[in-house]
A = this chain, B = another copy of it.
Amino acid sequence: MLNRQVTLKSHVSGVPKEENFEMIETPIPEPGEGEFVIRNLYFSLEPAIRGWLDGKENYFPPIPLGGVVRGPSVGRVVKSNNPDYQPGEVVFALNHWEDYSVLDSEAILLQKLHPKGDTPLSYYIGPLGGSGTTAYVGLHDIGHVKEGQTVVVSAGAGATGSMVGQIAKQRGCTVIGIVGSDDKVKLITEELGFDHGINYKTTDKLSDAVMKLAPEGVDIYYDNVGGPTLNEMLLTMKVQSRIVCCGMIADYNDTDNPNPITNLWEVVARQLTMQGFLLHFYSEKVPAALDQLEKWIAEGKIKVMEHITHGIANTPKAYGELMSGKTTGKALVQLDLPEENG
């Protein structure tokens, strides 16, 4: 039995294509001292990975050509020389796109998962994982969300955005989602309970469209995209309102040429607070967020949106779909290695 690994064949320019990647097979690794081996069950496809595919540093070193692509995964421990991680346990960590990964206790983002009752394991990657907790912490601890406010979220049908909108609805807000297709407008308003959806691709002047729906302006803009959308949203904010800066995916496919922002004067004129945050600096907030999210999901108040691709060989294609806005909800790859073989 071999370990299938997805490697970077050529540096990515623009949206990742299948030809940028190549699958290789290597021996299944053995754990060294203090190490353990997991069999990966899911890959969590995330925009941040894009930053490592073009040879530049982005929090982490770039992935070298021929190197296995780095990315978060969930896997089950199959062999261990580490007393803290026993075979059968399920862990999340920043691993690689491969069937089997070797970890030690210092693995980045490493945490054990304890799925409750019938909750599918995949939920702990999206709505009960980074996407859901990022949405929750961003809205509460950065956005200071309050009942009755108007909340706008970009990439509103995405993994984080779909959670932001649903959480804001639970908090009694009016929610407007900005998305990239009419189907997504339909999805967020009819399925997820957003009050309004705007397809930015068919909207001439986004700020006008938002102001028409929210004539008094916006209290919280939860920004996942940056770029022209952020630039327009700066024109819609109430005095002393807040912009939660969670991601700037509009620039991820071409970091050398970020979209220029020309309306920053509004930060002074409207006395805005723009605040960036990364979840791992707020880990003390995560348990309470998870408790609340688990309740809402169990009660059916928050709907889980997943885009699951099957088979490790389809990972490059699935990643290209994510990075071209073709997916809704949390994008995952479910590995095709039969669990019994582990």
Residues of A within 8 A of B (CB): 59, 226, 230, 239-240, 245-248, 251, 255, 258-278, 281
Contact = CB atoms under 8 A, between A and B. Distances in A.
Contact of A267 (B239, B265, B271, B276): B276
Given A240-B281, A262-B260, A274 B274 contact: yes
Contacts of A271: 275-278, 281
A268 B278 contact: yes
A42 to B, nearest CB: 25
Contacts of A240: 281
A305 B88 CA distance: 71
A246 B268 contact: yes
Given A267-B276, A272-B275, A274-B275, 4 more contacts: A59-B269, A248-B264, A255-B265, A273-B275
A264 B243 CA distance: 13
A301 to B, nearest CB: 29
Nearest to A263: B258
Given A260-B260, A281-B240, A274 B267 contact: yes
A272 to B, nearest CB: 5
- Which 7 pairs show the lowest CB-CB distances between chains A and B? A260-B260, A268-B276, A267-B276, A274-B274, A261-B261, A273-B275, A271-B276
Chain B CB count within 10 A is highest, among A261, A270, A272, A281, for A261
A266 B245 CA distance: 10
Contacts of A272: 274-276
Nearest to A58: B269
